[in-house]
Amino acid sequence: MPWTIPDKGEGDNDLQSILFQEYLEVLVEGINGKNCVLSGCQVTGGADMTPEVAKGAVLSNGTLFAVAAATATIGAADPTDPRIDLVVINASGALAVRAGTAAPAPKPPARTTNDVVLAAVYVPAGDTSIESTKITDMRLVREQGPIVIHKETASKSQANSNASFSIFNNALSIPNGLFLAGRQLRVRAFGNVLHNSATAMTLTVTISFGGTNIFSDATASYGTTADADRQPWYLDFTITAQANNNQRMGGFFSAQGPTITNLVGIGDIGVDEILANAPIGSVTGGVAIDADAANRALDIVFTMSSANAAHEWVCQGITVELI
């Protein structure tokens, strides 16, 4: 079970049963979803000073990082006094060890800002091996969602091009072992389109997971009416992992056409020409991407059918939640 403190007498030493302030701060940050483990990352001991860290995924300051299986190197033990080290994933997503200070009654070291703590390691004086009994599991694992794993608030736009472009500012990779059977990814995005020319233009929306298209369609057809007013679009879909290698999608896409000018905002309620306003989904069998074998990209791509300086799409926000 993650985030445990051994009872007195259960660990190698009663020092392991003390509830330090550092441990409480780890707990609070994890519950808040700021610095926490999403999957895996268990630390186990062995016959030397290099405990094993399992693959997994973490959020550091709300940023998603994949953690590859690796070994953590615990420094040489003090010859006289014990110490407590922390095994962490740092704010850059890298595995690190924060070494404590040896003392007759040691405390864990202070964490670096936005460290995700995986384990506390008791290092006895003169020790040469870190067995699992010397490791206290400090992972605060967020197993129940929804929890935001990716959010973008900066706009992204593309004009005067008929090339395909991702609407994400930052590529989103789902760590392997995270999106497994029984989990869901909910994605919401919104923005606007400018079609201020008499040249017809069609907007194609493509959604892919692991490099395989789940959905692709020439969704909205903007005609030959030039309009300086920007028109809104909205995308909301959920991908369900029915198995580790079976993903199915369902959702909704809406886009509006030429409109009257409003006093405030973009678009009209019940007035606009509706270009797209319908459910969207994957093929019946979904796609078969093994989400436990490698990190998998999740992407949304927009393509305008004609390159025109008066044609532009804008994405103004994206949220991805793990459920």
Which stretch of 45-49, 107-111, 154-158 has the lowest confidence by average pLDDT? 45-49
127 plus 172 within the same structural domain: no
- Residue 30 sits in a domain of what CATH number? 2.80.20
Q: Are 189 and 316 in contact (CB under 8 A)?
A: no
Arithmetic mean of pLDDT over the chain: 94
pLDDT tier, 144 (very low <50, low <70, confident <90, very high otherwise): confident
> What pLDDT, in 10s, does the model give residues 105-129?
999 999 999 999 999 999 999 999 9
Give the 3-state secondary structure of 289-309: CCCCCCCEEEEEEEEECCCCC
Range of the domain at 313: 147-322
- Residue 216 sits in a domain of what CATH number? 2.60.120
Flag whether 8 is in a domain.
Answer: no
Cβ neighbours, 10 Å, residue 163: 9
Flag whether 64 is in a domain.
Answer: yes
Q: How many domains does the chain have?
A: 2
- The predicted model gives 163-184 an average pLDDT of 97
- The predicted model gives 274-281 an average pLDDT of 84
pLDDT value of residue 103: 98
Virtual torsion, Cα 130, 132, 133, 136, nearest 10 deg: 100
- Indicate if the pLDDT at residue 1 is higher than 60: no
Domain termination residue (choose one: 81, 109, 137)? 137
- Indicate if the pLDDT at residue 162 is higher than 70: yes
DSSP characters for 110-141? Answer: PPPTT-EEEEEEEE-TT-----GGGEEE---B
- Indicate if the pLDDT at residue 148 is higher than 60: yes
72 plus 179 within the same structural domain: no
168 plus 295 within the same structural domain: yes
Domain termination residue (choose one: 116, 137, 158)? 137
The pTM for the full model equals 0.91
